[in-house]
Amino acid sequence: MTVFARSDDHLFSRPAECAQRKPVGKPESDPEDDGDATLRAGIEHSRRTFQYFYDSQLRQFCSPADEPGTVNATHGYLVWPVAIAFWMTADCAKRTSSHLDKHQLELAYNAMERHWNPEENGYCAWIMFNGNRDIYYDDNAHCANALITAYEATEDKKYLRRAAGIATRLVPRGWHRDQDPGGVEWHVDQPNSRHACSTLSVAVMACRLALHGVERNHCMELAKSCIDFSLEHLMDQKDGLVIDAIKRDAEHGEPTWKPDMVKWT
């Protein structure tokens, strides 16, 4: 049986067993007062990280110096680290009752939104401009996971709706449910690779959305498909570690998928 939250929230049906769970996003106490030194240190580190990298004038996350993953003279970060910064602030806000943390969450969300391409239903690697289709599925899975955490911190369904849109409108374009070979593409214009970073991040996103009752059947099928593909094609049976991808050179007449044995932490 499925329990629906409200008639106008058709995406957000919750499985019956979820109704018995303790609601997320409403901590009983502020960890700043509960004596947990490790958690307090993590919260403080999150706040300092935000203050160090967020540029309030540019309204984006920037590096003090030119480095990989940054763009132009502002040293602005691409969406992948922006998503991680947003996820960090959301996770921090989830654990406190501080207005500061929720304010930082909103600023980080707005910075990430500057990458949003409404026509493609996804976040671009760099800030959105007309014709920008530089969209990666792993980036968007990270964005969606951050959005889910933001929902858990605030119970604001705008975050869950955006994550649901990524799962139902963007990801299916790069997801190969036929298992031949299956998996999720890396980039919207690169159909000849199936990467661990995209496939497994999408699996995490889908599991988390299903737990919140968002398009549960679709998300459970998506997660299972990604996990099955990863176990069959991406796990090195010799050491149990996950390889980077399987790839083929279809443009030069090579139809065979071959493993890229590089392994990343």
- Cβ atoms of 93 and 109 within 8 Å: the answer is no
Measured torsion, CA atoms of residues 148, 68, 259, 193, in degrees rounded to the nearest 10: 60
Half-sphere exposure of residue 13, counting CA atoms within 13 Å on the CB side? 11
- Cβ atoms of 105 and 89 within 8 Å: the answer is yes
CA distance 79 to 127: 8
Q: For position 7, what pLDDT does the model report?
A: 33
Reference 185, options 247, 125, 175, 64; nearest CA is 175
Give the other-Cβ count within 10 Å of 125's Cβ. 18
Q: For position 88, what pLDDT does the model report?
A: 98
The answer to whether the Cα torsion of 184, 185, 187, 188 is positive or negative is negative
- Cβ atoms of 180 and 52 within 8 Å: the answer is no
Helices (H), ranges, the chain? 37-53, 79-94, 99-113, 137-154, 157-165, 196-211, 216-229
Q: Does 10 map to a domain?
A: no
Q: Does 70 map to a domain?
A: yes
Q: How do residues 184-195 score in pLDDT, each as one tens digit? A: 999 999 999 999
Q: For position 113, what pLDDT does the model report?
A: 98
- Cβ atoms of 153 and 106 within 8 Å: the answer is no
Q: Does 63 map to a domain?
A: yes
Q: Does 6 map to a domain?
A: no
Token pair, residue 179, equals: 């298992």
Q: What are phi and psi of 17, to 5 degrees?
A: -65, -25
What's the DSSP call for residue 30?
-
Q: For position 176, what pLDDT does the model report?
A: 96
For residue 149, give its domain range: 42-260
What's the DSSP call for residue 167?
I
The count of structural domains within the chain is: 1
Q: Does 2 map to a domain?
A: no
Residue 137 sits in a domain whose CATH number is 1.50.10.20
Q: Does 23 map to a domain?
A: no
Q: Does 19 map to a domain?
A: no
CA distance 159 to 147: 5
pLDDT in tens, the chain (265 residues): 333 333 333 344 444 444 344 444 444 445 555 558 999 999 999 999 999 999 999 999 999 988 888 999 999 999 999 999 999 999 999 999 899 999 999 999 999 999 999 999 999 999 999 999 999 999 999 999 999 999 999 999 999 999 999 999 999 999 999 878 999 999 999 999 999 999 999 999 999 999 999 999 999 999 999 999 999 999 999 999 999 999 998 777 678 999 999 999 7
Measured torsion, CA atoms of residues 87, 89, 91, 95, in degrees rounded to the nearest 10: -170
Q: Does 101 map to a domain?
A: yes
